[in-house]
Amino acid sequence: MNSQFNSLSANRRSIYALGDNLSQTPEEIFDLVKQTVKNSPTAFNSQTVRAVVLFGKSSDKVWEIVEDALRKIAKSPDAFEQTKAKIDSFKAGYGTILYFTDTTIVHQLENDYPSYAANFANWAEQGLGGAQQAVWTALAEQGIGASLQHYNPLIDDAIHQAFNLPADWQLRAEMPFGSIEAPAGEKTHLDDEEMFKLIK
């Protein structure tokens, strides 16, 4: 069965060679992120996903924070140089999206629905994953490359301080994006028999 959605999803890849050569304006990209997140489902329509979209020096600041944090824990100067090259590739992009979970809503749901309390943190994470996938695909549809990074919780405090963000927003991931300066590498998949079952 042919599916336009699956074609779009297949086009969504981890792009590590990023540049800032985009025709879209920051406002256009911000609007795309907003609309995509708003259209992504969350359990109980809880709307726990928060996104901060940064450009220019603000985006650079994210990766400077990451670099400073990793420099402090690097095992050797040589090992850090490899890490720094990776960080520089993210910094070379057009912008960065920071993804958060609003923990105030999660805790409120835990109190309001005690029978399901153990699930709300997991459900919030599922909602966040859906939003990230949707935004990533929406960016790819526009010819914008991206990848999903996870330097939290190492950088949490510095990110909150740098951008004056609410304390109850828990940082979950960072998505650098920009022009595609080199294609993604080859992608492999497990055998279908390992991943799927058809039961009639």
- Those residues whose C-beta lies under 8 Å from the C-beta of residue 3, and which sit 6 or more positions away, are none
Residue range 17-72, pLDDT digits in tens: 999 999 999 999 999 999 999 999 999 999 999 999 999 999 999 999 999 999 99
Q: Residue 86: inside a domain, yes or no?
A: yes
Domain holding 93, by residue range, is 4-195
Q: What is the pLDDT of residues 146-168, one digit of tens each?
A: 999 999 999 999 999 999 999 99
Provide the token pair at 148. 């999903």
pLDDT digits over 62-82, tens only?
A: 999 999 999 999 988 888 998
Structural domains in the chain (count)? 1
Q: pTM above 0.85?
A: yes
Residue 200 lies in a domain: no
Is 93 a member of any domain?
yes
Cα–Cα distances (Å) from 64 to 11, 68, 163, in that order, read 30, 6, 13
89, part of any domain: yes
CATH assignment at residue 181: 3.40.109.10
Dihedral sign, Cα of residue 20, residue 36, residue 52, residue 10: negative
